[in-house]
Amino acid sequence: MGKLNDISGGSPVTGGLRRNLVVRAFRLMSTREQLGAFSIVAVSLLSGMLEIGILAMIGPIVYVLFDPESLSTSKVGTFLALWIDLANQTAALGVFAAAIVMLMLVSASVRLLTLYISERHSVACRTRLANEMLEQLVAAPIEWSQRFSTAAKLNLIQVDVSTWRNDFLQNVMACTQSLVLILMPAIAVVAMAPSMGIGAIAVTAALVAGVVGFFRKHIRRSANAVADVRNVAAQRLMQVLAGLREVKLSGNRRYFVDYFATPNRTASALGISARIWAGSPGILIHTMGQIGFLATAFALWATSDNAAGAAATMAIVAVFFARVLPVFNAIGNSLAQLFRSAPIVHSILEVLSELEAVNRAQAEKSTIEPPASWRRIALERVQKTYLDAEHPALAVDSVVFERGKVYGLVGRSGSGKSTLANILAGLVSPTSGRVSVDDVDLASIDLRKWHRSIGYVAQAPFLFDATIVENVTCGEQLDNVRLAQVLEEVQLAAFVAAQPRGLDTHVGERGGRMSGGQIQRVSIARAVYRRPSILIFDEATSALDGETEREIQSVLAARAPERLTLIIAHRINTLKECDEIVVLEDGKVKDRGTFQTLSMRSPEFKAMLAAHVGAPDQSDPKSVSNRLPAVE
C-alpha cells in the first residue's frame, strides 16, 4: 500500500474484506453517528415498504383490465371490494392509479429525506474523525510524526477520512438499503407467483455474486496501484510548491513541472483503469438482467394457458425487474467501491491503533505536574540516537542549566545543538540517560503542561495565514499592555503602526507579505508573549541585520529570575552577554564557560570566532554580509 502503509507500517487487505473490517470501520463512528446510520437504514426500510405497495397494485390493475371476474372471486378481490367498486372498471382503475401516484410521491419524498439525512451524517462523521485524527497526530511524539511525509498526513486527514465515510461506510449502508429494497418487492413477487418469483430471485442473486466475485481481485489491485502513485504525485506537488522561489530561479521550470506531472499522469491513467474495473460489474449485471427478463417473458408466453394470468404475472415480473434489477446493479457497484476503499480503511484503523497506543503510553508515564518553582535542569549521561543513524546525535555526561540565566549553544552543523534544545523542550526523548527538572524526571512530567511553559523560536519560523495579533497570541488571552511591550522589545511596533490595519494586518501564507526579518520578529514576539519559563532560540535571528540582532538579543538576554534562556547562536559575537556558553562537537560537550574564558582556552570556540575576524561590520546596514549566514 502507498501512503497509509507508510504511516501505519501495516499491509494492504489481501483477501477481499477482512472479516471484522466492517465492524471496526463502523466502530470508528461515535454512538450518535451509529444511531444516525441505523436511522438511515430505517428510513430505507420505509422506502422498501412503499416499493412493495407500488408493486402490489400492478396485479389488480391487470386483472381489472383483462379478467375482472377472476379478481372479484379471489381473496384479494374480496378484500378490495370492501373499499372499491370493482364492477365499475373505470372507477376502479382511477382509484388504483391514484393510489400508485400517491405511493410514488411519498416514496420520492422518503428518498429525498434519506439523501438529506445521509449527507448530514456524512459531514458529521468526516468532520469529527478528521478533527480527532489531527488532535491525535499533534499529541503524538514529534519523532513518530516526523517519520512520515506531510503529503501522507494531509491525505490521511482530508482524503482518506472521506474515503472511510463516503466510499466505505456509505456503501455498507447502501448494500443494506439495497437488500431491504430487494426484500420487499421479492416478498410480493413470491406471494403472487411463488415458483417464478423464487427462481428469478435465486438466478439474480447468483448472477450478482458471480460477477462481483470475478471482478473483486482486479478492483482491489487497481485501487492499490492508484493509491500508491497518487501519494507520490501529492508529495512531489507539495515539494514543488514549498520550493517555489528556488523553482522560479532555477531557470528550469519544465523539469519541476514534469517532476509532478509524470506520476500524476500515471495516477490518472491508472484511475481510468480502476473506474472501468469498478463500473464493469454494474453494466454486466444490468445487461444480463435485461436478457433474463426477455427470457422470462418468452417462457411465460410459451407455457401459460390463461392469458390474463400470464399478463398479470408478466407485469409483476416486469415491475420486479424494473425495480429490483437496478438495486442489484447498485449492490454490485457498492461492493466494488467497498473493495476499492477497503485497503485505505484498513490502514486508517492501523494508524489510529498505533497513534492511540503511542499517546496512551506517553500519557501513562507522563502524569506528574511540572514543578512550579523549579530552579535547574540537569542532563545526566544523556544519549540520543535517531532512527537508522549509525552514531548518536548527542552524547553528554553531565550538563546543568539554571533558571534565571542565559546560555549560549555553539558548534558546527550537526554538532547536536538542536537535539539538546529539543530534549530540554520535551519534544524529543533521549535514547538513554535522564533529564531531571530539579529532582523530577522529565519523562514522568505531563508534557502537555511542560510544553506550555516553553517559548521556542526556530530558524525557519512558522506563521499562520492570519493577522499579526493572531500570530503573536496564538490562542492565548489578549493582553494589550503585554502585547505592546513585546512588540517594542522585538522592534516590531513601528512596522505595525505603519500598517493601515495595524495589528489586524494579514501576514499571508507562511508570512509571504512580510520580509524575512519581520517574520522572525513575529515568531520571537509569539514566544516572548507567552511568558515562558524556558525560552529557546534556535538560530532565530539569522534573518536580522547585525545591529538589530544585537539590540533584540540584548533585550532577550536580560536576566529574568523566572526564565531560563537558551540561545543557539548564528553569530557568535552576539553571545558576549551570556552567563555561560556550551561548545558542542560531534554531539559531545567539548567545553563550557563565559565568552571571555572560551575565547582564550577553547580551540573549537577560537576557530568559530576566528571565522568572523575581518568580516564586514555587521552593524553596517550597507554590509552585504549582514544578510548572509556566517560560519559557525
pLDDT tens, 343-391? Answer: 888 888 988 888 888 888 888 888 889 888 899 999 999 999 988 788 8
Task: Report whether pLDDT(467) > 70.
Answer: yes
Question: What pLDDT score does 308 carry?
Answer: 57
Higher-confidence position of 283 and 312: 283
Helix (H, G, I), strand (E, B) or coil at 1: coil
Higher-confidence position of 190 and 174: 174
Question: What pLDDT score does 617 carry?
Answer: 41
C-alpha cell of residue 204: 439474480
Question: What pLDDT score does 597 carry?
Answer: 92
pTM of the model: 0.70
Lowest mean pLDDT among 315-319, 356-360, 532-536: 315-319
Residue 593: its H or E element: strand 588-593
Distances in Å between the Cα of 158 and the Cα atoms of 64, 127, 128 are 58, 9, 12
Residue 291's identity, in one-letter code, is I
pLDDT tens per residue, range 181-229: 666 556 655 565 566 556 666 776 677 777 767 777 777 777 777 777 8
Task: Report whether pLDDT(587) > 80.
Answer: yes
Lowest mean pLDDT among 96-110, 155-169, 305-319: 305-319
C-alpha cell of residue 571: 553569530
Number of H helices, E strands in the chain: 24, 10
Distances in Å between the Cα of 476 and the Cα atoms of 527, 529, 531 are 11, 9, 11
pLDDT tens per residue, range 540-549: 666 566 666 6
Question: What pLDDT score does 624 carry?
Answer: 31
pLDDT tens per residue, range 36-93: 999 988 887 787 777 767 766 766 776 666 666 666 666 666 666 667 766 677 777 7
Task: Report whether pLDDT(452) > 80.
Answer: yes
- Give the whole-angstrom CA distance, residue 470 versus residue 449: 22
Q: How many residues does the chain have?
A: 632
Higher-confidence position of 306 and 413: 413
- Mean pLDDT, all residues of the chain: 77
pLDDT band at 507 (very low <50, low <70, confident <90, very high): confident
Q: Which residues contact 526 (CB under 8 A, 6 or more apart)?
A: 455, 457, 471, 472, 473, 474
Question: What pLDDT score does 80 carry?
Answer: 67
User: b/e string for 579-611 if b means 16 or more Cβ within 10 A?
Assistant: bbbbbbbebebbbbbbbeebbeebebbeebbee
Angle at 190 between CA 187 and CA 196, to 5 degrees: 145
Please classify residue 18 by burial: count the beta carbons closer than 10 Å to its beta carbon, then call 0-12 exposed, 13-18 middle and 19+ buried.
middle
Distance of CA 424 to the CA centre of its chain: 30
- Give the whole-angstrom CA distance, residue 404 versus residue 534: 9
Q: What share of the chain in percent tops pLDDT 70?
A: 72
- Give the whole-angstrom CA distance, residue 446 versus residue 360: 12
